[in-house]
C-alpha cells in the first residue's frame, strides 16, 4: 500500500532537511510536535550540523523532558540501524555513545546549568540552591511575616499611614505575592490627590433625605426589595455611625456600589420605585463611582510604597540563604548573557543549536535567553534587535493552545518572536495533520473554531488552522460527539445539577466498561494488546474548574470504577489533613482550650458536641491534664480520660522526638491512614496524608526542625495547595482520570468527557502587563476578600482602559482553552449540557454545533443506562441479632469471616529458626539499618548524618552509635549490589501490600500482608530485595538462613507479580553484615509450602 500523502508534507520535510534555517513550527493539536522535534535533532546529528553535546532541547515540564530524552535515544538507535552511509553511521554511533552529555530538560534547569558554569560573572554564590515552588511559597510567607514584624518595631509610622486609609497590613499579602511573580516588571504609579469627602457627603445626604420620604412606613408583606434595603442601610449608617469620619463614609459608599433591583408592588406608589432607582443610579454614576475611583487611585501609590520594601526583604532573605527560585534562574541567566559578551560567546560555542518545545506557553524571559544564545551580535543588549545564526534556533509551539497567561505566558511574546524570526530570514511552518482524533471529531472541531479564531492572527488571538485528521472512525465502533443532558433542577441549584451530571457520567462509563461501547484502536494500541472493549484508562474527565471534582470521584467510586484526580484542591480540602492540623496545633499550645476543642471534635477523636456539653456542664476543664468531674457519667468520663491520656503521650513525643518523627508516630497511633483508606475516596485521602508526611520530612531536612515550624509549614501547605498529588498505586494506570482543563494540555484519551455545565468563565481582570516598550510595565488591582466578594483597596490611574485591554486577552485565552478541551479526544467527545441555562456552562461556545449530536439516553442502550450501587449482603435480621448478642463470642456477628496473617508469620510457622549469633544489639539495630537504607534508596546522602541521628533517637538507641551506623551503611553504599540498585529505572522502598487468598472448602479466606524492603526495575523485569542484618559466621550458617528465608521471597514474588501485573526477574537476600547478595531460584515445589502454610498454619489472627 502506498504511503498517504499528508497535506503538510512539505512542512514536515523542511523540518528534517532545511537545517540551515531557523524555524518556528506552529504544530496543531495531535500533529506530532515531539516527533518533529526529535526528527530535527536526529537530522542535525546525522547531517553533521552539530555534535550531540552541543545540542540543547528545552521542554515545558520535567516529565516531558524525560519522555523526550527517551524518544531521542530510540530515534538515534533506529536511525543508526537503518542508515547505510558509513559516515553518517559513525556520527549516529558517536551521538549514542555521548548521549548523556546532551542537554534535554526544562528551561529552568537549562538556566541553572548556565549559572553553575559561570557563577562569578553572574555574581551569585557558586553553591546556590534552587527553590522548588513549595519551598518558595514557605519562604515568601516567612519573609512577609518578618517584614510586618520589622515594620511594627522600626517604622510604626508606615503602619499608621495604612491605618489612615483604612487598610490592615495583612490584607496586602495577596498583592505582595502577586508582585513577586513579576520581578522583571516595572510597577507604574501616578500620584492622584485625595477626593473631596465633603462634596460626596452632601450629595449622599441629599439623596437619603429625599429617598426616605418615598419608603413605605411599614415593612411590605414580602419584605423590602433590594433598593429599599440599600436606602435603609444608608439611613441607618448615617443615624448610627459618624459619617463625618471619612473612613465610615467610605465604607458606606463601598456598600452602595451595587446594582439593586426593584419590586414595584412593594412601594406605596409604583412610580416611586422607578424614580428612586433612577435617582440612585444617577448618584452612583455621577458621584459614588467617580469618588471611589479617585480614592482607590489615591490609595494605590500608598499601598505600593508599603509593599515594595517587602519584596526587597524577601530577596535579601533568599540571598542570605543562597537560594534562587525558578524566576530568578531565568532572570539571572538573561542578565549573565546580556551583560557579558565573552560569556555569551562561550555559551554560543557550548550550545550551537537550541530547540524549544511548547513555546506558546513560554515565559517572556525565556525568549530573551534564546536570542542571546543564538544572536550574531555579541555586543547587542536589546534582544529584539538580535538576528539568530542560520539554523541555530528551532521553536515548536501552537498559539491556539497558549493557555497559561496567569503563569506569565504571554502570546505577545510568541508573536514578537515569530515576527523577528521571519524578518531575519527564518521560516514559519504550519503542521495541520492530526494523528490523534478520528475524522468525526476533526470535522466537528473545524466547524466550531472556523468562526472563533480569526483568519489572520491579531495581537491577542491566533489564527484559525484546519485540523486535518487521518484516522477513520472505525466500522462498528463509537466515534464523534455525544451529549449528556441534565433535566431541569429546582432553582437551577449548581450542586444538584453537578450531582446528577456525575451520576450520569459514572453510569455511562460503567456501561461502557461492560460492553456497551466499542473503540477503534490505533496500530500502537493494537500492539499494546488493547481490544475494542474500553478500559478505565481510556476515559478522561475534564472540568473547567477544580470545584466539585470530589462529586465526580464519589460517583465513580459508588460504581466501583477506579479513578485518579489530578490538579484538584483535594489536599487543602482534605478533612483528614485539617484534622491533623488541628491536632498538631493543640499539641503546640496545650493551654489553649479552643484548639483542644477543635482537635477533640475532629475525626481523630470524634467527640460529639453532646459529650463536650456534658463534660462542661459537669464542671470539666478543657485541658489535657484536667481531672474528670465526679458528676460525669462513666462512659463520657472514660472517653475524655482516654482522649486526654493520648494527648499527653503525644505532647511527650513532640517534646522529646525530632519533629517529623513525632508527627509520623502520632499519625501512626491515630490510625489516620487506614481510617482514610476505609472512607470515601480512600486511596486519594490516604494519599494526601502520605504526601503531607513526605513534605513534613523534606521540610525538616531543609532546616525546618522545630515542631512549631513544622505546624506552620503544614499551614502553608494547606493554604498554597498541592497540585501534584501522590499516587499510592503508581503501577496501576488503568484508572479514569479526573482533572481540571489546564492540567489536560498535552494529554489525550480515547473518550474525553467535558463535565459540569454549571459555571462559565468570568473575566474580572486584576493584572495587566504591557510589553510594548523595552521595559515591561505592570498595572495591578489591589483587592481583599470580604463577605464572599472582592473589595478594591487600590487601583492604578486609568485602570478601566487597562482592564478592558486585559479582558480582551482573557476572552481570547478562554477560547483557546476550549480548543484544548475539544482536541483531547481520540474517538469520542462527550459534552454535558444543562438546557435550562445553556449560557452558564463553560462549554457554551459549542452549543450551536451540538444540535445534531446524539444524546446519551438514560433508558436506551447507547451507553447511558442508570446503574444501581451494589447492595450490602447484610440483612436486617443480622443487625438485630448483633444488637442483642454483640458481646457473645458465639454470636454469628463475631464469627471470623477471614483470617489475617503476615508473610513473616507464615515463614516462622513453617519451621524453627536457625540458631543465630547473639550480638546484644536487639531488633532495633535491624530496624535502624532498614530505615537508613530506605532513606538512601530514596534520597541523596547530603543529610545522612542528621537522618541517622534522628533514627537512633526514634529507636531509643544511644547517639554514640551514629558513627558505627554510618560506617556500616557506607560499606553497603559502595558495594556493587548498591550500584546496581542506583542504576535501576524505578525503585520503591518499604512497599506494604495485602493480598486476598481464597480458602479451601471449609476454611476461611486469608488476608496475607507484608512489607517488601526494596523492589527495583531493570530492563528485563523487577528485582525484589529483602535486607537481613543477621550476623553470619560462615557459609554453612548463610545457607541455613537462605533456606529459612527463601519461602518469604517466593511469596513476595508471587504477590508482586499479581499486584503489579509484570514479571519478577530475580529475588534475593542481601546480608548487610557481610555485604553479600544471594539471588534465589524460584522453584515450583515452594508453592506447596505456600498452600500448606495458608491453610494449615496456626499463626493467623482471627477476624
Position 452 in a domain? no
1028: number of Cβ within 10 Å? 21
Contacts of 762 (CB under 8 A, 6+ apart): none
Phi and psi, residue 1075, nearest 5°: 50, 55
* The pairing of beta strand 186-187 with beta strand 468-471: unpaired
Grid coordinates given for 984: 535501576
Mark whether 1040 and 1068 lie in a shared domain: yes
- 1060 and 939 within one domain: yes
159 shares its domain with 307:
yes
Number of domains in the chain: 6
Residues 6+ apart with CB under 8 A from 1091: none
Residues 712 and 788 in one domain: no
CA distances from 290 to 197, 386, 805 (A): 12, 46, 20
User: Residue 139 gets which letter from DSSP?
Assistant: H
Q: How far, in Å, are 63, 235, 278, 280 from residue 216 at the CA level?
A: 67, 14, 18, 17
Q: DSSP label at 458? A: B
CA-nearest of 940, 1043, 1091 to 129 is 940
Task: Please report whether residue 863 resides in a domain.
Answer: no
Q: Which residue has the cell 486526654?
A: 644
Q: Report the alpha-carbon distance of residue 464 to residue 443 in Å, rounded.
A: 14
Q: Which of 147, 151, 301, 149 is nearest to 793 (CA)?
A: 301
Q: How confident is the model at residue 874, as a pLDDT? A: 45
Residue 161 sits in the same domain as residue 109: no
Please tell me the predicted confidence (pLDDT) of residue 931.
86
Distances (CA, A) of 1072 to 771, 891, 901, 1025: 61, 49, 27, 12
Reported as a single tens digit per residue, the pLDDT across 679-721 is 777 777 777 787 777 777 777 666 677 888 888 888 887 877 6
β-strand partners of 471: 438
Q: Could you give the CA distance from residue 577 to residue 1102 in angstroms, rounded to a whole number?
A: 32
Grid cell, residue 805, equals 485591554
pLDDT of residue 907: 57
Residue 708 pLDDT = 87
Could you give the CA distance from residue 1041 to residue 1043 in angstroms, rounded to a whole number? 5
Interatomic CA distance for residues 193 and 255, integer angstroms: 23
Contact between residue 25 and residue 39 where contact means Cβ atoms under 8 Å apart = no
Residues 756 and 418: beta-carbon distance below 8 Å: no
Please report whether residue 1 resides in a domain.
no
How far does the chain reach from its first CA to its final CA, in angstroms?
64
DSSP 564-604: EEESSSHHHH-HHHHHHHHHHHHHH-TT-HHHHHHHHHSTT
Query: Is the same domain home to 958 and 904?
Result: yes
Residue 28 is labelled as binding a ligand: yes
Please, which residues have CB within 8 angstroms of residue 160's CB and are 6 or more apart in sequence?
none
Separation of alpha carbons 483 and 488, rounded Å: 16
Looking from the CA of 143 toward its CB, the CA atoms found within 13 Å total: 24
Q: Contacts for 8-15 with beta carbons within 8 Å, 24 or more apart?
A: 8/429, 8/430, 8/431, 8/432, 8/433, 8/468, 11/429, 11/430, 11/431, 12/36, 12/431, 14/427, 14/429, 15/39, 15/40, 15/43, 15/429
Determine, yes or no, domain membership for 202: yes
Alpha carbon distance 200, 209 (integer Å): 14
- Which segments of 131-218 are extended strands (E)? 186-187
- Where is the domain boundary, 398, 431, 464? 431
Is 31 labelled as part of a ligand binding site?
A: yes
- Domain containing 797 equals 480-568+733-855
1082 and 961 co-located in one domain: yes
Q: What is the pTM of this model?
A: 0.75
Question: Are the CB atoms for 453 and 464 separated by under 8 Å?
Answer: yes
Q: Name the helix (H) or strand (E) containing 848.
A: none
The C-alpha angle 185, 191, 195, rounded to 5 degrees, equals: 135
Q: How many CB atoms within 10 Å of residue 387?
A: 18
Q: How many residues does the chain have?
A: 1103
Rounded CA-CA distance 543/537 in Å is 17
CATH number at residue 614: 1.10.486.10
Cβ distance 520 to 865 under 8 Å? no
Torsion sign (Cα): 238, 240, 246, 248: negative
Question: Which residue, among 1093, 671, 706, 722, has the nearest Cα to 908 in the 3D structure?
Answer: 1093
Residue 1068 grid coordinates: 534475593
8 Å CB contact between 75 and 39: yes
CA distance 762 to 781: 16
What SS3 state is found at 350? helix
The CA-based dihedral angle spanning residues 609, 610, 616, 622, taken in that order and rounded to the nearest 10 degrees? -40
Please tell me the distance from the alpha carbon of residue 65 to that of residue 60, in angstroms, as a whole number: 8
SS3 870: coil
Q: Which of 167, 144, 183, 177 is nearest to 778 (CA)?
A: 183
Helix (H) or strand (E) run with residue 500 in it:
helix 494-511
CA pair distance 955, 953, nearest whole angstrom: 5
Tell me, yes or no, whether 908 and 1025 share the same domain. Answer: yes
For residue 586, count other CB atoms closer than 10 A to its CB.
24
Give the DSSP H/E element, type plus range, for residue 704: none
Both 934 and 1026 in one domain: the answer is yes
What's residue 280's pLDDT? 98
Match 470530589 to its residue by C-alpha cell: 550
Q: Which residues, in sequence order, are CB contacts of 412 under 8 Å at separation 6+? A: 459, 771
C-alpha to C-alpha distance for 344 and 335, rounded to whole angstroms: 11
Q: Does 459 reside within a domain?
A: no
169 Cβ contact partners less than 8 Å away, ≥ 6 residues apart: 148, 151, 159, 162, 306
The answer to the question of residue 181 being in a domain is no
Among residues 673, 689, 720, which one ends one of the domains?
A: 720
Residue 872 lies in a domain: no
Under DSSP, the state recorded for 396 is: E
* Residue 33 labeled ligand binder: yes
Is the same domain home to 124 and 136? no
**How far is residue 51's CA from residue 94's CA, in Å, rounded to a whole number?**
9
- Residue 173: phi, psi to the nearest 5? -65, -40
Asked if residue 845 and residue 979 are part of one domain, the reply reads: no
Q: Are 524 and 722 in contact (CB under 8 A)?
A: no
Kindly list the averaged pLDDT for each block of 10 residues, start to end, along the chain of length 1103. 76 97 96 94 97 94 90 96 96 95 95 96 95 87 94 95 95 96 95 96 97 95 96 94 93 94 95 97 97 98 98 96 95 97 97 95 90 96 95 96 87 92 95 96 97 94 95 92 94 94 96 94 91 95 91 91 78 83 92 92 90 91 90 90 94 90 89 80 76 75 77 81 59 82 91 94 89 88 84 96 95 96 97 94 95 76 40 47 47 54 58 53 78 80 80 81 88 88 86 70 67 88 89 82 86 84 88 87 42 37 33
The answer on whether 29 is annotated among ligand-binding residues is yes
Query: CA quadruple 431, 436, 439, 440: dihedral positive or negative?
Result: negative
| CA distances (Å), origin 717, targets 197, 578, 670 | 43, 11, 21
Give domain status of residue 891, yes or no: no
Question: Among 671, 691, 720, which residue terminates a domain?
Answer: 720
Residue 27, marked binder: yes
If we measure between CA atoms, which residue out of 252, 429, 353, 370 comes closest to residue 47?
353
3-state secondary structure 676-689: HHHCCCHHHHHHHH
Q: Considering only CA atoms, which of 851, 892, 890, 862 is closest in space to residue 874? A: 892
Going from the C-alpha of 897 to that of each of 695, 957, 998, 1102, the distances in angstroms are: 38, 41, 12, 8
Nearest to 828 by CA among 551, 516, 452: 516
* Statement to judge: residues 745 and 619 lie in one domain: no
Amino acid at each position: 500500500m502506498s504511503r498517504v500523502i499528508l497535506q503538510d508534507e512539505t512542512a514536515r520535510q523542511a523540518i528534517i532537511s532545511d537545517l540551515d534555517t531557523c524555524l518556528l513550527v506552529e504544530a496543531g493539536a495531535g500533529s506530532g510536535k515531539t516527533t518533529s522535534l526529535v526528527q530535527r535533532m536526529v537530522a542535525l546529528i546525522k547531517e553533521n550540523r552539530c555534535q550531540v553535546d552541543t545540542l540543547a532541547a528545552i521542554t515545558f515540564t520535567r516529565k516531558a523532558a524525560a519522555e523526550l530524552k527517551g524518544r531521542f535515544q530510540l530515534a538515534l538507535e533506529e536511525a543508526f540501524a537503518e542508515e547505510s552511509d558509513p559516515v553518517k553511521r559513525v556520527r549516529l554511533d558517536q551521538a549514542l555513545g555521548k548521549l548523556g552529555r546532551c542537554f534535554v530538560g526544562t528551561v529552568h534547569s537549562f538556566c541553572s546549568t548556565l549559572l553553575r558554569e559561570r557563577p562569578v560573572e553572574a555574581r551569585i554564590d557558586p553553591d546556590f540552591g534552587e527553590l522548588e515552588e513549595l519551598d518558595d511559597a514557605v519562604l515568601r510567607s516567612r519573609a512577609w511575616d518578618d517584614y510586618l514584624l520589622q515594620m511594627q518595631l522600626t517604622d510604626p509610622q508606615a503602619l499608621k499611614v495604612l491605618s489612615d486609609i483604612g487598610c490592615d497590613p495583612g490584607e496586602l499579602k495577596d498583592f505582595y505575592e502577586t508582585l513577586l511573580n513579576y520581578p522583571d516588571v516595572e510597577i507604574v504609579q501616578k500620584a492622584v490627590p485625595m477626593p473631596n469627602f465633603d462634596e460626596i457627603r452632601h450629595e449622599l445626604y441629599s439623596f437619603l433625605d429625599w429617598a426616605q420620604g418615598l419608603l413605605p412606613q411599614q415593612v411590605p408583606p414580602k419584605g423590602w426589595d433590594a433598593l429599599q434595603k440599600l436606602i435603609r442601610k444608608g439611613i441607618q449608617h448615617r443615624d448610627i455611625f459618624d459619617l463625618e469620619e471619612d473612613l465610615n463614609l467610605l465604607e458606606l459608599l463601598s456598600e452602595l456600589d451595587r446594582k439593586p433591583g426593584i419590586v414595584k408592588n412593594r412601594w406605596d406608589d409604583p412610580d416611586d420605585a422607578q424614580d428612586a432607582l433612577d435617582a440612585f443610579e444617577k448618584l452612583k454614576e455621577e458621584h459614588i463611582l467617580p469618588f471611589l475611583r479617585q480614592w482607590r487611585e489615591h490609595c494605590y501609590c500608598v499601598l505600593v510604597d508599603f509593599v515594595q520594601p517587602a519584596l526587597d526583604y524577601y530577596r535579601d532573605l533568599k540571598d542570605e540563604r543562597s537560594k534562587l527560585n525558578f524566576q530568578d534562574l531565568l532572570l539571572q541567566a538573561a542578565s549573565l548573557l546580556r551583560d557579558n559578551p565573552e560569556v555569551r560567546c562561550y555559551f554560543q560555542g557550548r550550545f550551537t543549536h537550541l530547540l524549544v518545545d511548547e513555546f506558546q506557553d513560554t515565559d517572556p524571559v525565556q525568549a530573551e535567553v534564546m536570542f542571546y544564545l543564538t544572536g550574531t551580535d555579541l555586543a547587542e543588549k536589546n534582544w529584539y534587535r538580535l538576528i539568530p545564526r542560520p539554523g541555530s534556533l528551532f521553536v515548536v509551539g501552537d498559539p491556539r493552545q497558549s493557555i497559561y497567561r496567569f503563569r506569565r505566558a504571554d502570546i505577545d511574546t510568541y508573536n514578537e518572536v515569530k515576527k523577528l524570526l521571519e524578518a531575519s530570514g527564518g521560516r514559519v511552518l504550519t503542521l495541520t495533520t492530526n494523528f490523534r482524533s478520528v475524522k468525526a471529531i476533526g470535522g466537528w472541531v473545524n466547524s466550531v473554531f472556523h468562526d472563533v479564531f480569526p483568519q489572520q492572527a491579531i495581537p491577542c488571538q491566533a489564527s484559525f488552522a484546519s485540523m486535518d485528521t487521518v484516522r477513520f472512525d472505525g466500522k462498528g465502533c463509537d466515534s464523534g460527539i455525544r451529549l449528556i443532558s441534565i433535566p431541569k433542577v429546582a432553582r437551577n441549584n449548581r450542586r444538584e445539577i453537578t450531582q446528577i451530571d456525575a451520576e450520569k457520567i459514572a453510569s455511562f462509563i460503567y456501561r461502557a466498561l461492560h460492553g456497551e461501547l466499542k473503540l477503534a484502536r490505533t496500530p500502537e494500541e493494537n500492539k499494546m494488546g488493547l481490544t475494542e472493549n474500553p478500559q478505565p484508562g481510556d476515559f478522561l474527565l475534564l472540568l473547567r474548574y477544580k470545584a466539585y471534582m470530589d462529586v465526580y470521584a464519589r460517583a465513580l467510586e459508588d460504581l466501583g470504577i477506579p479513578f485518579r484526580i489530578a490538579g484538584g484542591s483535594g489536599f487543602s480540602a482534605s478533612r483528614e489533613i485539617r484534622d491533623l492540623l488541628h491536632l498538631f496545633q493543640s499539641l503546640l499550645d496545650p493551654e489553649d482550650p479552643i484548639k483542644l476543642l477543635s482537635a477533640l471534635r475532629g475525626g481523630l477523636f470524634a467527640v460529639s458536641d453532646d459529650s463536650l456539653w456534658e463534660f462542661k456542664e459537669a464542671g470539666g476543664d478543657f485541658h489535657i491534664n484536667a481531672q474528670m468531674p465526679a458528676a460525669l457519667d462513666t462512659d463520657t468520663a472514660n472517653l475524655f480520660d482516654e482522649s486526654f491520656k493520648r494527648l499527653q503521650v503525644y505532647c511527650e513525643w513532640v517534646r522529646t522526638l525530632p519533629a517529623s518523627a513525632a508527627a509520623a508516630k502520632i499519625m501512626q497511633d491515630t490510625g489516620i491512614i487506614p481510617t482514610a483508606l476505609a472512607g470515601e475516596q480512600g486511596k486519594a485521602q490516604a494519599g494526601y496524608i502520605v504526601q503531607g508526611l513526605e513534605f513534613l520530612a523534606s521540610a525538616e531536612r531543609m532546616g525546618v526542625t522545630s515542631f512549631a515550624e513544622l505546624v506552620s509549614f503544614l499551614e502553608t501547605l494547606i493554604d498554597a495547595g498541592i497540585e501534584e498529588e501522590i499516587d499510592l498505586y503508581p503501577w496501576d494506570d488503568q484508572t479514569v482520570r479526573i482533572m481540571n482543563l489546564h492540567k489536560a494540555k498535552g494529554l489525550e484519551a480515547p473518550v474525553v468527557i467535558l463535565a459540569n455545565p454549571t459555571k462559565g468563565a468570568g473575566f474580572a481582570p486584576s493584572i495587566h502587563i504591557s510589553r510594548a516598550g523595552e521595559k515591561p510595565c505592570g498595572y495591578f488591582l489591589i483587592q481583599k476578600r470580604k463577605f464572599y466578594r472582592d473589595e478594591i483597596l487600590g487601583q492604578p490611574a486609568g485602570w478601566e482602559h487597562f482592564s478592558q485591554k486585559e479582558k480582551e486577552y482573557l476572552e481570547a485565552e478562554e477560547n483557546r482553552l476550549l480548543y484544548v478541551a475539544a482536541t483531547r479526544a481520540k474517538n469520542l467527545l462527550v459534552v454535558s449540557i444543562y438546557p435550562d441555562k445553556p449560557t452558564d456552562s463553560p462549554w457554551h461556545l459549542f452549543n450551536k454545533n451540538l444540535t445534531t449530536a446524539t444524546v446519551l439516553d438514560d433508558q436506551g442502550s447507547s451507553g447511558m443506562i442508570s446503574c444501581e450501587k451494589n447492595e450490602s449482603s447484610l440483612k436486617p435480621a443480622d443487625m438485630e441479632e448483633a444488637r442483642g448478642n454483640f458481646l457473645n463470642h458465639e454470636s454469628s456477628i463475631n464469627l471470623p469471616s477471614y483470617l489475617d496473617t503476615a508473610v513473616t508469620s507464615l515463614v516462622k510457622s513453617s519451621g524453627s529458626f536457625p540458631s543465630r549469633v547473639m550480638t546484644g544489639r536487639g531488633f532495633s539495630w535491624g530496624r535502624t539499618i532498614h530505615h537508613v537504607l530506605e532513606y538512601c534508596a530514596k534520597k541523596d546522602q547530603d543529610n545522612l548524618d542528621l537522618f541517622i541521628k534522628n533514627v537512633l533517637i526514634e529507636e531509643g538507641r544511644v547517639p554514640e552509635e551514629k558513627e558505627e551506623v554510618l560506617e556500616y551503611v557506607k560499606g553497603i553504599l559502595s558495594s556493587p549490589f548498591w550500584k546496581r540498585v542506583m542504576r535501576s529505572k524505578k525503585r520503591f522502598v518499604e512497599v506494604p501490600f495485602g493480598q486476598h487468598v481464597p480458602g479451601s472448602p471449609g476454611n476461611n479466606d486469608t488476608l496475607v500482608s507484608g512489607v517488601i524492603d526494596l523492589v527495583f526495575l531493570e530492563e528485563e523485569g523487577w528485582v525484589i530485595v529483602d535486607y537481613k542484618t543477621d550476623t553470619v559466621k560462615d557459609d554453612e550458617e548463610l545457607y541455613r538462613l537462605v533456606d529459612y528465608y527463601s519461602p518469604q521471597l517466593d511469596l513476595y514474588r508471587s504477590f508482586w507479580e499479581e499486584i503489579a501485573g509484570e514479571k519478577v526477574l530475580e529475588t534475593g537476600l542481601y546480608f548487610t553484615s557481610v555485604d553479600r547478595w544471594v539471588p534465589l531460584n524460584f522453584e515450583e515445589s515452594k508453592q506447596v509450602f505456600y498452600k500448606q502454610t495458608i491453610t494449615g498454619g496456626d499463626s493467623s489472627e482471627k477476624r
